[in-house]
Structure 1
Amino acid sequence: MRCEYFDAGVCRSCTLLPQPYPEQVDAQQRHVRTVLGDPAGVTWLPTVTSAEAGFRNKAKMVVAGTVEAPTLGILDGHGHGVDLQGCPLYPPSLSVAFAPLAAFVTRAGLTPYDVPTRTGELKHLLVTASPDGELMIRFVLRSTEALARIRKHLPSLRAALPHLVVASVNVQPVHAAVLEGDREVLLTERETLRMLVNGLDLHLRPRSFFQTNTEVAAALYRQAVAWADETQVTSAWDLYCGVGGFALHLARPGREVVGVETSAEAVASAQMTARDAGLPGTRFLAGDATSFALAAGDVPDLVVVNPPRRGLGEPLSRWLEASGVPRVLYSSCHAGSLARDLAHMPSLRPVRAQVLDMFPHTLHHEVLTLLERT
């Protein structure tokens, strides 16, 4: 993939871009195996690769510049805007929104937030595209000062972007490297963006997490289901379930599945998908995964964990070790935290693993590991 921004030295986010993609893929698997200590007895499946360009389903655009000439992209080392509207990581369904959004900033009089002086209102534009080309757009503002103007001019944005189905304002008042705040104001009748994955319409609310690469996420869920079905799992937990990707894919007649997630919005999304898809035997709870596990009585046949980069942490890892659960599916976005957690679970040995290149041209990775009790 060629990128004019990388060549010009204005954006180096894709740190591995000069390296041919097949070499990137090989290096990722070597890195993961090395960090995990290349444990014996593990069957490594071929790495799931990605399209080299146009694979991102979400754009997190820092807004800078001026009302008359906003930039959408990133900040340079001095806190000034670098416009990246032509970034090749975005598919046409996303990039088509950038110019109308820049024009909307001017039309609605949304003053970009200036980091050096801590002035202005509009901090980020978060744009998500579904596989069907529908859009969710979130305006991250310092306050609600511009909310009325956004509401007033929103019809013109929807006319320019007919596939815009969900729009909201997020309020993030603090001067910190925090993407979004706790308050969300919905601006449209639709509350969710439908992400069609492996035939399932996963409902995505504005503050719900979803994998950045839809095609690779679909492969991740398919592999998890294949391993679960081989062992005839009748009960499963999906801890850190998000909008229910693993749990909803695992749902089968005769199989009880429980998903646990701290985000109430994500839980509501998962419940909506389960209802629409007619998936009995699924239950979703808003709460802390570790607290849920420690308070549980019986354990299931399978526990799926998909924690953030920091990993499970010692309390949950040690609980899994002592619980007697026969199998764990661990989906990790950081091999280092996975290795730390595995050290607390010596009785749960990796037997199968697969690296999935969710983030081409970077050092980030996803690895799915099946652990079985010895």
Structure 2
Amino acid sequence: MQCSYFDAERCRSCTWMGQPYAAQVAGKEEHCRHLLGERPDLVWSSAVTSAEQGFRNKAKMVVTGSVEDPALGIVDADGVGVDLRDCGLYPEGLRSTFPVLAEFVTAAAIQPYDIVRRAGELKYLLVTQSPDGELMVRFVLRSQEAVARIRKHLPVLLGALPLLRVVSVNLQPEHKAVLEGEREIVLTAQDTLRMRLNGIDMHLRPQSFFQTNTEVAAALYRQARDWVDELAPSSVWDLYCGVGGFALHCADGSRDVTGIETSAEAVTSAETSRREADLTRLDFRVGDATAFAVGAGREPDLVIVNPPRRGIGPELSRWLEGSSVDRVIYSSCNATSLARDLAAMPSLRPRRARLLDMFPQTTHYEVVTLLERAA
């Protein structure tokens, strides 16, 4: 993939841009295998590759410039906005929203936030596209000053974007590198975006996390489901469950599945999906993954973990190492923290692994491993 923004040095976010895609995947596999070390009993499946471009289902656009001429993209090292509306990582369904949203910013007179001067209102536009092409748009604002105008002009925006289903305002009053604040104001009757993967309807609320690459996420969930179906455990915990992707894929009615997640918004999303699917042996709860495991007083047959980049950490690693859990599926977006956690769980050995290229043009990737307790 070639990118005019990268070639002109206007954006260098994609550090591997221009490298042959096969070489990118091979480099990621080599990096991951090196971190996990030589393990004769570890079987690697072929990597799941991605489309080289147009694969992102979410755009996080910094809004700069003026009301009359807003720029949607990133800011450079000097705090100057760089408009990236034609970024090739976004599919056409997302790219087509950017000029409409820029016009809306002008019509609703929402002043873009000036990082240097610490003035203005609109910090980010967050746009998510579902597998069916439906859209969620979130305005990240410094205050409620523009909310009334957004409400007033919202019918025009809904008319211009027929597939727009959810619109909200997130309030982030602080001047710091935090994408969003705690308070969300939903402006549409519909408050979840339906994300249909592998025949399963998942729901995404405004403050819920979803994997960036829809097709590769679907492959990740299929892989975990295949391993679980093969092992046939009677009980499963999905720790760091998010909106319930792993849990929903593994809950076929033959086993008890519990999902744990700190985000109440994500659990509400997961519970909506569970209720619609009428999965009576699936349970979602708000809570800390480590605290839940340590304090549960019982142990499942299999645990799925999908932690943030920092990994599961020493306490949960110690608990798993000392537990009677025989199998763990560990999905990681950071093989460095995965390797550190594996070192703390020597009895749980990786038997199968698969790299999934969730983030083409960058050094990042996902890897999923099946751990089995040594005899």
Q: What corresponds to 1:75 in structure 2?
A: 75
Q: What corresponds to 2:60 in structure 1?
A: 60
CA displacement, residues 86-110 of structure 1 (integer Å, 9 cap, x when unaligned): 0011011111110000001101011
Q: What corresponds to 2:280 in structure 1?
A: 280
Shift of 1:327: 0.3
Percent same amino acid at aligned positions?
Answer: 65
Question: Is 1:134 aligned to 2:134, yes or no?
Answer: yes
Question: Is 1:339 aligned to 2:336, yes or no?
Answer: no
- What secondary structure, in the 3-state scheme, does the structure 1 residue paired with 2:202 have? strand
AA partner of residue 182 (structure 1): E
Cα distance in 2 for partners of 1:47, 1:72 equals 34
Q: What corresponds to 2:252 in structure 1?
A: 252
CA displacement, residues 249-272 of structure 1 (integer Å, 9 cap, x when unaligned): 000122000000001111111111
- What secondary structure, in the 3-state scheme, does the structure 1 residue paired with 2:144 have? coil
TM-score, scaled relative to structure 1: 0.99
Q: What corresponds to 1:291 in structure 2?
A: 291
Shift of 1:306: 0.2
- What secondary structure, in the 3-state scheme, does the structure 2 residue paired with 1:350 have? strand
Cα distance in 1 for partners of 2:108, 2:186 equals 17
Cα distance in 2 for partners of 1:276, 1:15 equals 41
Q: What corresponds to 1:121 in structure 2?
A: 121
Cα distance in 2 for partners of 1:155, 1:253 equals 42
Shift of 1:326: 0.5
Cα distance in 2 for partners of 1:109, 1:322 equals 59
CA displacement, residues 203-223 of structure 1 (integer Å, 9 cap, x when unaligned): 000000000000000000000
Q: What corresponds to 2:187 in structure 1?
A: 187
Cα distance in 1 for partners of 2:38, 2:203 equals 38
Shift of 1:111: 0.5
- What secondary structure, in the 3-state scheme, does the structure 2 residue paired with 1:99 have? helix
AA partner of residue 72 (structure 1): L
- What secondary structure, in the 3-state scheme, does the structure 2 residue paired with 1:151 have? helix
- What secondary structure, in the 3-state scheme, does the structure 1 residue paired with 2:170 have? strand
Match runs of 1:156-195 below 5 Å = 156-195=156-195
Cα distance in 1 for partners of 2:343, 2:17 equals 33
Question: Is 1:13 aligned to 2:23, yes or no?
Answer: no
Match runs of 1:1-374 below 5 Å = 1-374=1-374
- What secondary structure, in the 3-state scheme, does the structure 1 residue paired with 2:328 have? strand
Cα distance in 2 for partners of 1:209, 1:238 equals 15
Cα distance in 2 for partners of 1:45, 1:254 equals 27
AA partner of residue 182 (structure 2): D
AA partner of residue 40 (structure 1): P
AA partner of residue 30 (structure 1): E
Cα distance in 2 for partners of 1:38, 1:308 equals 25
- What secondary structure, in the 3-state scheme, does the structure 2 residue paired with 1:64 have? strand
- What secondary structure, in the 3-state scheme, does the structure 2 residue paired with 1:304 have? strand
Q: What is the aligned residue count?
A: 374
Cα distance in 2 for partners of 1:23, 1:233 equals 38
Cα distance in 1 for partners of 2:38, 2:365 equals 17
Cα distance in 1 for partners of 2:51, 2:279 equals 32
AA partner of residue 49 (structure 1): T
Shift of 1:296: 1.1
Cα distance in 2 for partners of 1:329, 1:362 equals 25
- What secondary structure, in the 3-state scheme, does the structure 2 residue paired with 1:102 have? helix
AA partner of residue 288 (structure 1): D
The unaligned stretches of length 5 or more in structure 2 are: none
AA partner of residue 195 (structure 2): M
Greater shift, 271-280 or 112-121, is seen at: 271-280
Cα distance in 2 for partners of 1:38, 1:212 equals 30
Shift of 1:280: 2.0
* Runs of 4+ with >6 A deviation: none
Cα distance in 1 for partners of 2:17, 2:48 equals 18
Greater shift, 351-360 or 5-14, is seen at: 5-14
CA displacement, residues 96-133 of structure 1 (integer Å, 9 cap, x when unaligned): 11000000110101110011111110000000000111
AA partner of residue 137 (structure 1): V
Cα distance in 2 for partners of 1:254, 1:318 equals 29
- What secondary structure, in the 3-state scheme, does the structure 1 residue paired with 2:342 have? helix
TM-score, scaled relative to structure 2: 0.99
